[in-house]
Structure 1
Amino acid sequence: MNGFVRVPGEVVKGNSLGSFYWNADLINFEGPLLSLFKNDEDEDFLFVWLDCNNTKNRWCMVAVDRDQLKGYLGSVLPLRNIMADSSELIVFSVSRAGRRSAFIRTDFSHLPEEYRPEKDSFLTDDIATNAAVALREDSPQDYYLGLDGDLYIDDIQRIPQLYKQLYSFHYGLEHLKRSAVRHKLGRLMGSWGGGFSAVNIFTGLRNVIPSIHRARLQELRYNSPGHIKLNLLPRMAKSIEKSSDIIVDEVKFQEMESFYRSVYRFFDQNRISGFEKESGSISEKLTADTKEALSVFVDTFFELMDWKGFRQQFDSIESNPLRQLRVLLAYYRRLRELRSYVIKGKLDIGKSKLDRS
């Protein structure tokens, strides 16, 4: 016997549940007691510590939607209510080596009383981690992308896609102090070899952006003019606005284009593939002089984009300047594509094209 209280339910295979990615610990006392995870389908889950014996810890995973997570982080919704309202709970064990096993699908009515949170199980300030407080304080607001002019269905698809990728990048850049974000970017950039594409940097960050911080579509209206109404973190939106303003300015744009061309001349001269894929052997064979020159390019990019405050943190997650530079150039190509919509009057970042807004 494992010494755990019996939990009635259906035994399930762990691989049938998909993968889960750690996002943040919300309660910690000599180890995590409540953590936020995300799965492959971009859904948030709370992992709730239940019990332990000499060899394993027992946990319960429960899906949590955007409003529930916001309510819990804001100390207005108790954990007990979230678990009670869930259609299913997954109880499982974790070994000292981190291996999960003994998965049981159940519900709150079958969960033993000793495993149920108290009725007043709010996330109060005295038990919340710094990460939980940071998640709570980053509050989303409504935001507009104004639309106008001759747009096609491809444009209506492409504009939000570009904006989502830029938003993900800025989220990663401005949340590097969060362990999950820093580790995720480090893994993505560190494994960028053998054909790994830069697009994975943008899409991969979704695993560490909880639902309360994602850009959620509120409204889409287009009858020339119109808008896309989003609910997102205003700080990220302002960062994208600032970057857009820089390259919408013709003088600064030409400066960025000149820099971009000089980087690719350097790539050609040194037989370095410049776009979003690379062979891992290229990075390994860089000479000290080449690495130094690439580092100067990275510094220059941060200066041109006025991101100097993030330079040191960015450097800490990936020491290979070629991979760093490729990520930055991939970001710039997306920003430049968004610029074309702005200068043609088809997109107004931060404003609705409708008079009523």
Structure 2
Amino acid sequence: MESGIYRVEMDGRWNLKDLYEFPHAYLQVYAFIYAFDTDLPTRDEERINHALESYPWAGGYSIVNMYSVLQSQVSPRFKPVVKEIRYASPGWIDLLLNVHPAVQIAGAVTAIATSTAGAVKAYAAIQDCLYKISARARKARIEKIQLTRQEVKELEGLNKDLADSMNFNRLSELQDRTGSVHVTSKLLSAQYRRLKKLAEFVTSGKARLPVSTPKAAPKTTPKKKKKKSHKG
């Protein structure tokens, strides 16, 4: 559970927008994985649970605020810190963080960047289902609507498909914490959108996220100089 250096490899084609969008998305997906898909310590677990239970989840503000909460709950010693940036071709961004979530991000991004239509199809199906639920709520003029058994069953299956496509391992635990398959769908969808943004950097060749960290070079012990013999 110690901090380490994770190197994001980058080429020389980044613009100012890229230098904002990549770190912004990376910090968010890191916080999500840190809080929901690892055993790493959060500062206040109940603060996260309170947000999951009390937010209205009727629009985008709940998602934005949830990510802010997650980022604030990353332990200070594991918050990503830029140690070095070299802008060249090749270049890199060295991040000091907990390497475990970083490697999980790399695996998720790689899965999305190299997958066929599976992830896209699961995400689109969830959005279609969420839209229909929202439309039904608007028609009934209520903020929160009781899902039908069919809707619950459909979202449960789609959530599993989307979670699998982005290597999210603790879907059942997330479902237990939200207490709502509807909220779980919204959280997974938000995470997918941010991972997809990182995947676009990978597929365009602008960035590479290694799925393993380089091993440190073995330390070598300097050879002792042989003493010269002085024969009389």
Please give the TM-score of this superposition, normalised by the length of structure 2.
0.78
How many angstroms does 1:330 deviate by? 0.5
How many angstroms does 1:178 deviate by? 5.2
Aligned match of 1:236? 101
Distance in 2 separating the partners of 1:315 and 1:225: 41
SS at match of 1:223: coil
1:208-223 aligned within 5 A = 208-223=73-88
How many angstroms does 1:148 deviate by? 0.8
Among 190, 199, 209, which residue is 1:330 paired with? Answer: 190
Which has more radius of gyration?
A: 1
| 2:203 paired with 1:343 | yes
1:24-39 aligned within 5 A = none
Q: Map Cα deviations across residues 198-242 of structure 1 (whole Å, 9 max, x no partner).
A: 122222113321211111110122133311111111111111011
Please give the TM-score of this superposition, normalised by the length of structure 1.
0.53
Q: Map Cα deviations across residues 15-70 of structure 1 (whole Å, 9 max, x no partner).
A: xxxxxxxxxxxxxxxxxxxxxxxxxxxxxxxxxxxxxxxxxxxxxxxxxxxxxxxx
SS at match of 2:192: helix
Q: Map Cα deviations across residues 301-325 of structure 1 (whole Å, 9 max, x no partner).
A: 22333434x1222122111111111
Aligned residues: 205
- Amino acid in the other structure paired with 2:193: R
CA contact (8 A) 2:41 2:74 kept: no
How many angstroms does 1:145 deviate by? 1.0
- Structure 1 or 2: more strand by fraction: 1
- Structure 1 or 2: more helix by fraction: 2
Change (3 A) 1:313 1:250: closer
CA contact (8 A) 1:181 1:205 kept: no
SS at match of 2:2: coil
Aligned match of 1:111? none
CA contact (8 A) 1:283 1:322 kept: no
Among 201, 222, 246, which residue is 2:66 paired with? Answer: 201
Structure 1, unaligned runs of 5 or more: 1-137, 274-279, 352-357
Distance in 2 separating the partners of 1:177 and 1:262: 32
CA contact (8 A) 1:318 1:324 kept: yes
CA contact (8 A) 1:140 1:212 kept: yes
Change (3 A) 1:236 1:281: farther
How many angstroms does 1:267 deviate by? 3.0
Change (3 A) 1:335 1:272: farther
**Identity, % of aligned positions:** 21
Distance in 2 separating the partners of 1:326 and 1:209: 21
1:136-285 aligned within 5 A = 138-175=1-38, 182-193=45-56, 195=59, 196-251=61-116, 254-272=117-135, 281-285=142-146
Whose RCO is larger (CA < 8 A, sep 6+)? 2
Change (3 A) 1:220 1:212: same
- Amino acid in the other structure paired with 1:292: K
